[in-house]
Structure 1
Amino acid sequence: MAQRRGIAELLTGAAVLLIAAGFLAYAITNSGRATVSGGLTLTARFDRIDGLAPGADVRIAGVKVGQVVNQRIDPQSFLAELTLRVDGSLRLPSDTSAEITSEGLLGGKYVALVPGGGDRILRDGQRIDITQSAVSLESLLGRFIFSVTEMNSNRSQTPEAGAPAAPQAPAPAAPR
């Protein structure tokens, strides 16, 4: 009896693991994070890439056309260099720009490509030269808070309009 119970537990555990593996495979294939095989490999350099990681989307007009496959620091310029893999059927002009954008206030970051109007087409391995780095939300909030506090401190140091003027000493009488 104990042996039957052990076999039943073993078979139940195996079934649970198979179902979990099926769910995992389904989630990976339908997550929209599938790797772009083949395609065009491009690089772009940025001052800062705050919060952007390999696997992040590359989009044109909000439509996913690729992903970030690698990131590294350029030892000469100390700029962050991203390697992007995009759909090979796209014919991106050589004056295409790349900017790091956020999906929203709390959303993830992605690389937005803005095709230019040039006649030459980017080829595999080339670099996108026109880039705009990530905007740091923390930095913007810090500047805003600093400017508000600075404005309030300046306002408290100057007399307000309509306030009574400070009393002045009477002028001395002229001798007769």
Structure 2
Amino acid sequence: MAQNTTEVLVGTGVLAVAAGFLIYAAGLTGFAATTPDSYKLNASFRSAEGVGVGTEVRMAGVKVGTVTGLDLNAETFRADTTFTMNQGIEIPDDSAISISSEGLLGGNFVEIIPGGSPFNIDPDGEIEDTQSSVSLVTLLLKFVSGSDE
């Protein structure tokens, strides 16, 4: 009888840990990203190198959202990006968005540079002014070769 009780308790514990991992993975992949306290925005980048689903969206260094979708647009050959923003953070419609790096060895994040317009982007709207990621390897090759291009 004691062995059956132990097996049931261990099995319950394993199922609880597995459920916790599934919830954590869903949060990282953006599967459960649209919540009542967030809204979606879109942007299209020439290159989204270093950005993936789950990448942080920051404003003034503070996390205000998460990338929830990244797809190649077959017509424009640009990276169409979808991200969720925390409710209460309103973005002026003349804002810019760029892919920034945390440093030489750090990862990338998406940064929103707010504009000065009195009008805000509607939920499910698009930020038009985008700046793609800069490849460190390309910059180093330009520096070594002395190219201005």
> TM-score band (shorter)?
0.7 to 0.9
Q: Hey, what does 1:101 align to over in structure 2?
A: 100
CA contact (8 A) 1:59 1:113 kept: yes
Paired positions, count: 144
Displacement of 1:92 in angstroms is 1.1
SS of the equivalent of 1:64 reads strand
SS of the equivalent of 2:143 reads helix
* Cα deviation code 1:134-153 (max 9, x no counterpart): 010111112222239xxxxx
Distance 2:34 2:95 in 1: 20
Q: Higher relative contact order at CA 8 Å, sep ≥6: structure 1 or structure 2? A: 2
Q: Hey, what does 2:73 align to over in structure 1?
A: 74
- Once the two structures are overlaid, the 10-residue window that deviates more, 82-91 or 34-43, is 34-43
What is the TM-score with the length of structure 2 in the denominator? 0.78
* Cα deviation code 1:53-76 (max 9, x no counterpart): 011111111111111110112222
Distance 2:41 2:20 in 1: 34
* Cα deviation code 1:71-106 (max 9, x no counterpart): 112222111110111012112110011000112212
Distance 1:25 1:59 in 2: 26
Instruction: Quickly say closer, same or farther: Cα 1:19–1:143, change in 2 above 3 A.
Output: same
Are residues 1:53 and 2:52 paired? Answer: yes
Instruction: Quickly say closer, same or farther: Cα 1:61–1:76, change in 2 above 3 A.
Output: same
Q: Hey, what does 1:41 align to over in structure 2?
A: 40
CA contact (8 A) 1:97 1:114 kept: yes
Instruction: Quickly say closer, same or farther: Cα 1:71–1:22, change in 2 above 3 A.
Output: closer
* Cα deviation code 1:85-136 (max 9, x no counterpart): 1012112110011000112212221110011001211001211011110010
Distance 2:76 2:136 in 1: 25
CA contact (8 A) 2:34 2:40 kept: no
Distance 1:43 1:26 in 2: 25
Are residues 1:122 and 2:109 paired? Answer: no
Displacement of 1:35 in angstroms is 3.7
5+ residue gaps, structure 1, are 149-176
Task: Indicate the structure (1 or 2) with the bigger Cα radius of gyration.
Answer: 1
Task: Give, as a single letter, the amino acid of the residue that structure 1 aligns with 2:145.
Answer: F
Task: Give, as a single letter, the amino acid of the residue that structure 1 aligns with 2:97.
Answer: A
SS of the equivalent of 2:146 reads helix
Are residues 1:14 and 2:11 paired? Answer: yes
Instruction: Quickly say closer, same or farther: Cα 1:42–1:27, change in 2 above 3 A.
Output: closer
Displacement of 1:22 in angstroms is 8.3
What is the TM-score with the length of structure 1 in the denominator? 0.67
Q: Hey, what does 1:91 align to over in structure 2?
A: 90
